[in-house]
């Protein structure tokens, strides 16, 4: 019979025939090692998206109707990065909104933005 070894620490395995790792720590370490490059990229992108969302949310904290007008310069000074958003929505009038999760904005022609909170 062939001796099976843990795919992470190379220790002999005991137990089920289809077992690949000696314990949960080895399984987790193995998967973290495989996914570390992808995880770092995803973590960095998600950090930017969360920061963008917090900035948009902060602009709407004092507003009751979930909509406000703000200059592009002001939002950039707060650290907002326009290249990152989760999705877009087009209104019935054809206006395109860029969202970071449930908060979004629509660029206006005169260097201003309309910041909104999604109703759903």
**In the prediction, which pLDDT does 1 show?**
57
Domain total in the chain: 1
Give the mean pLDDT of 89-105.
95
Query: In angstroms, rounded to a whole number, what is the distance separating the alpha carbons of residues 104 and 120?
Result: 12
Domain that holds residue 76: 24-117
pLDDT tens digits along 2-19: 789 999 999 999 988 899
Query: In angstroms, rounded to a whole number, what is the distance separating the alpha carbons of residues 64 and 100?
Result: 20
39, part of any domain: yes
19, part of any domain: no
Six-digit token string for 11: 């220790």
**In the prediction, which pLDDT does 108 show?**
93
**In the prediction, which pLDDT does 41 show?**
85
18, part of any domain: no
| Beta-bridge partners for 67 | 116
113, part of any domain: yes
pLDDT tens digits along 36-92: 777 788 889 999 999 999 999 999 988 888 899 999 999 999 999 999 999 999 999
Query: In angstroms, rounded to a whole number, what is the distance separating the alpha carbons of residues 87 and 96?
Result: 10
9 neighbors 26 (Cβ within 8 angstroms): yes
75, part of any domain: yes
6, part of any domain: no
Query: In angstroms, rounded to a whole number, what is the distance separating the alpha carbons of residues 120 and 118?
Result: 5
4, part of any domain: no
């Amino acid at each position: 019979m062939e001796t099976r070894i843990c795919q992470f620490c190379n220790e002999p395995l005991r137990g089920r025939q289809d077992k690949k790792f000696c314990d949960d720590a080895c399984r987790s370490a193995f998967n973290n090692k495989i996914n570390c490059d992808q995880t770092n990229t995803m973590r960095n992108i998600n950090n930017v998206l969360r920061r963008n969302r917090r900035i948009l949310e902060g602009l709407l904290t004092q507003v009751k109707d979930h909509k406000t007008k703000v200059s592009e310069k002001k939002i950039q000074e707060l650290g907002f990065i326009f290249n990152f958003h989760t999705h877009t929505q087009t209104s019935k009038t054809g206006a395109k909104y860029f969202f970071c999760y449930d908060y979004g904005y629509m660029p206006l022609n005169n260097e201003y933005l309309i910041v909104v909170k999604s109703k759903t």
